[in-house]
Structure 1
């Protein structure tokens, strides 16, 4: 990936984190940001739903 493409990806992840209310994005790598976003989204899964019983 080009540097500009990496910035687009990282900025998108940061934007998504801010929408989720997570603001501690300074100084974190793109990988750390992606992992944090994945954790936040995973915690929002409703396991009571029949389609999510495998969790």
Structure 2
């Protein structure tokens, strides 16, 4: 997820804002603090950085 976010040129804070989450949300995902994320959130993450779900998971 981090590599995809960085490739999109977004900071953790910018992506968190696009997702409508607190500023530490993406940091917690990338650091493994948030261990469970549902498919809807994964799709929203991919959409926010401008890639497909398939590209994100491959």
**Length-normalised TM-score, structure 1:** 0.27
| TM-score using structure 2 length | 0.26
Structure number with the bigger relative contact order (C-alpha 8 A, sep ≥ 6) is 2
